[in-house]
Structure 1
């Protein structure tokens, strides 16, 4: 969009909303999700190795096959495996439009030191981001874990921590929540950002948007703390990663600190009370050199 032809915030807000109201049909994505779950249930023993909330699963099936009008909750399940005498728990959260959107896959192993677990999940996440968009990948993640678990169990914590620091990886996490209204959560997000030296912003409302940037290790731990809070829906939409020279004085940060921002519409009625002015938000991102992320957040094909 040329600078001379830029729309006002109000015009852009109206334009964006006209596009985002045309949501893609959920059913094709849900059909893929349910098909993958059926395969996993055939591979792994029910309730012992593979665990899923059957109420949520039935709601998804009713929406898909019985024309229920109630949109189902996001699907989440756990897989427990023993590999190389290590007990692993793999937690999987599927976003609404998986496999177009990447799943959130996290591995826990009580036999690992903290930094071994951090390193393994860091590499698993890098594997996910290396896949072609639209890949059905949960079983692929399990195969990756099976093939690579020895790389982490054979090294001690000091070696892993040293190699992790030496990589010098800068990250920027783009997080999407169904909504952020809780004052306690907003305070905690800001406190955690200070603790982990994270810069960026938190945009409360519906939806809630969070951006955090810093060292990859700090961002990863910050995100794990945020994710562990109680949410109706929260997921990491995108991660920007940049390798950098430790001796460089050039800052990779696009934000000077971590702040709470607001871009509310005029409150003409109750339905607009917590609605974000997306035009103002877009120009805020533009000012900070991050306008590219808007399409990832709101699935807009043109802007």
Structure 2
């Protein structure tokens, strides 16, 4: 078959036909995986109602995908890996965008205390590389999970120092070559505890400073090496959002530490009642925080306030 043919066929599909193909493939795959990982505790679908929603969508010819499909398949497969003379459980989280596998990639994350930060980041990069080699005309979660089991068995036995990233520059050499960025991200809301935890985990793992404001609206600011801020954005935007966008990007060369405005990465509520995470944002507190961190101009960028 000509290499351009699959793309040509996708271009000829209507939006609904494209979603139907992807959702059908996902349902077939989850049935297959359920039969393979059938021992209690091996596979857990985080929101089983998504399966019903998918089936309802397929049975309703007039249903508009973007109106009906409000969630995506999200499940955990637990595998055993060797650790010394014993076997340990490792959770592999699979998040499938609605247009997986034809147009969007699966998001695969490992949760294990056996890895550590350096190995976790290395494995994340390797997962992405492996997924990019997959044939996207068919589902491939089982292939990824099987490959991961082999990778994990090898990775756990190796020294963490093998995977620590080399510093891009020394303290007094080529500092001006550093590309840095401060990203301001605006979301309709940030309420999910899972998202809030992931935002903090990813920011800290990538040595980003800044803050996130949960609630409605949701606001995130991260600053650090541009390669890291862009990776943060790639990871975060892949989550399921009602609306999320980059409000402003500030770029500069060199002198990262001297130009950081925030000390580490923290979650900030900006509420009068700090015990109420659903509380309304106190705009005065937020603006004061911005001004304290030399960012008062962002009140106009974010809210149109002079």
TM, length-normalised to structure 2: 0.51
SS of match in other structure, 1:149 = helix
Give the Cα separation in 2 of the matches to 1:93 and 1:156: 29
Moved more, 128-137 or 69-78: 128-137
Residue of structure 2 in register with 1:81 after alignment: 79
Larger gyration radius, structure 1 or structure 2 = 2
Contact conserved, 1:198 with 1:212, CA < 8 A, in 2? yes
SS of match in other structure, 1:32 = helix
Unaligned runs of 5+ in 2: 1-12, 169-178, 211-215, 245-252, 262-294
Partner deviation per Cα, 1:24-74 (whole Å, 9 max, x = no partner): 122111011111111111111165211112222111112123558433521
Q: CA deviation at 1:150?
A: 2.9
Residue of structure 2 in register with 1:165 after alignment: 165
Change (3 A) 1:58 1:68: farther
Unaligned runs of 5+ in 1: 1-21, 200-204, 237-249, 265-303
Give the Cα separation in 1 of the matches to 2:159 and 2:94: 27
Q: 2:15 aligns with which of 9, 21, 24?
A: 24
Q: What do you get for the CA RMSD once the two structures are aligned?
A: 5.3
User: Which structure carries more relative contact order (alpha carbon 8 Å, separation 6+)?
Assistant: 1
Change (3 A) 1:198 1:214: farther
SS of match in other structure, 2:114 = coil
Contact conserved, 1:178 with 1:232, CA < 8 A, in 2? no
Structure 1 segment 169-188 matched on structure 2, within 5 A = 179=188
Contact conserved, 2:209 with 2:222, CA < 8 A, in 1? no
Residue of structure 2 in register with 1:105 after alignment: 108
Tell me the matched-pair count: 218
Alignment of 1:54 with 2:57, yes or no, is no
TM, length-normalised to structure 1: 0.52
Structure 1 segment 136-285 matched on structure 2, within 5 A = 136-157=139-160, 159-160=161-162, 163-166=163-166, 179=188, 196-197=207-208, 214=225, 232-233=240-241
Contact conserved, 1:193 with 1:222, CA < 8 A, in 2? no
